Amino acid sequence: MSTTVAEILSLLLLVCVLVFAVRRPGGAPEAVVAVPAAGLLVVAGAVSPSAAWQQVHTLLPVVGFLAAVLVLAHLCAREGLFEAAGAALARRCAGRPRLLLAGVFVLAAAVTAVLSLDATVVLLTPVIVATAAHARARARPHLYACAHLANSASLLLPVSNLTNLLALGAAGLSFTRFAALMALPWVVAVVFEYVVFRRFFGAELREDAGDGAPRTGTAGDGDTPDPPPLPVFALVVLSLTLAGFVVTSFAGLNPAWAALAGVLVLGIRALARRETTVTGVVGAAKPFFCLFVLALGIVVQAVVDNGLGDAVDRLLPAGSSLPALLGVAAFAALLANVINNLPAVLALLPVAAHGGAGPVLAVLIGVNLGPNLTYVGSLATLLWRRTLQDRGNAPDVGTFTRLGLLTVPAGLVLSTLALWGALQVIGA
């Protein structure tokens, strides 16, 4: 197969895979198209079997870690962790929408950082709907906050986002060093988003705005249900698991072992108490999505091998200077909004890694903050949109886009400046 034909076929199949992942007709798994597309590219010679296998071999530990964290988040939800946090937030912030927004930002940022952005989108967002109703506040500002923080608050830890897991090895950093370098960019991104949200939703966050306003949720007429008990056991296990991430990092082990330990403890307890089933636990790992990630990796490898890699090599700024890092973050954000952040990070990492940890982390700022500009920027945003649509609360594309224009360009600059400062102080 000629290079031109291979390039056209690879790009065409990548578009088909992404469009299907966005649309998911009939709720079909993303892997339904991704796996045949990957197989076709191998058979056609657009990507060699050895290159395809190498990509799968590279992604397997990352995907395994992702599956473990997803199950951990599911088990924490079964223990009532999210409901308890939402109820506590509603009690403390009732009648004070601005305080509620601050609480939602703290809660969503913490959940995203520790349990991944999928937990914020799938598990926390419905809880925030009920929390806003119980706190007698309009739900809209807080729901858009969940979407934004699922992306922007995923900068902190390797476990916060699949893109981070992919970049961890490329950056050559330990778990703790990654967190140390990304802590300041994470704080800057979250605080900046909060300031923008306070101004953008100013009218809806007035303390009298919720009175008589339509509310989303199931709360009764001013009645607040009895708060659920705090799941102490789940909190202890989650804290120990997070500590285990640090310990395994120092020991040179894959932090997936710590996640697996947390899953086993909570899973055995939930199964013994009949709070879940083996089928439920396996389903929480999203096996079809994990298969989709592996297949997508092969499709992206074909695109990279047949032209995109050379284009990225020519266009991506080189070096770790501040202008170079700003250019890398901007390029990564643009590519994420064109082809989605997961394919973008797979295409960018091999080139960015030549410059060391700085450019790799700048790529993460781009692919994690950039998707707040458009629905197609990340799978998490698409999942958030689908979650709200299923509950009859479809978000408005105009509001989402305006918020993106206000937060993404400036947020990229501020967070990249923070990364550059952290690199000067801590070193790569």
Residue 71 and residue 267 in contact, taking contact as beta carbons nearer than 8 Å: yes
Q: What is the DSSP string of 5-34?
A: HHHHHHHHHHHHHHHHHHH-GGG--THHHH
Task: Judge contact between 404 and 375, C-beta under 8 A.
Answer: no
Examine residue 213 and state whether it is found in any structural domain, yes or no. no
Structurally, the chain folds into a number of domains equal to 1
pLDDT tens track, the chain, 428 positions? 778 898 899 999 999 998 888 777 887 888 999 999 999 999 999 999 999 999 899 888 888 888 888 899 889 989 999 989 888 888 888 778 899 999 999 999 999 998 888 889 888 988 998 888 888 888 899 999 999 999 999 999 998 998 998 898 888 888 889 999 999 999 999 999 999 999 999 988 886 555 444 444 444 444 555 677 889 999 999 999 989 988 887 887 878 889 899 999 999 999 999 988 999 999 998 899 899 989 998 998 999 888 888 888 898 998 889 999 999 999 999 999 988 898 899 889 989 999 999 999 999 999 999 999 988 888 788 878 877 877 777 788 899 999 999 999 999 999 999 999 999 998 76
350/170 Cα distance (integer angstroms): 7
Please return the burial class of 261, using the count of CB atoms within 10 Å of its CB with bins 0-12, 13-18 and 19+: middle
Residue 220 is assigned to a structural domain of this protein: no
224: in domain: no
| Residue 167 located in a structural domain | yes
Q: Taking each helix axis from N to C terminus, what angle separates 125-134 and 140-152, rounded to the nearest 10 degrees? A: 150
As given in the structure block, the two tokens for residue 376 are 């197609």
Residue 400 phi, psi (nearest 5)? -60, -45
* pLDDT value for 209: 52
- pLDDT at position 339 is 84
Q: How many other β-carbons are positioned within 10 Å of the β-carbon of residue 405?
A: 12
pLDDT value of residue 193: 97
Say if CB 120 and CB 78 are below 8 A apart.
no
Among candidate residues 142, 131, 141, the one with its CA nearest the CA of residue 92: 131
Torsion sign across C-alpha atoms 289, 234, 179, 149: positive
Residue 331 falls inside a structural domain: yes
What DSSP letter does each residue of 112-123 carry, written as one string? HHHH-HHIIIII
For the record, the structure tokens of 36 come out as 């045949």
Residue 317 in any domain: the answer is yes
Measured in degrees and rounded to the nearest 5, phi and psi for residue 196 equal -65, -45
In angstroms, the first-to-last Cα distance of the chain is 42
Torsion sign across C-alpha atoms 310, 185, 59, 123: negative
Range of the domain at 399: 3-207+229-426
Residue type present at position 140: R
What percentage of the chain's residues is helix, strand, coil (to nearest 5)?
80, 0, 20
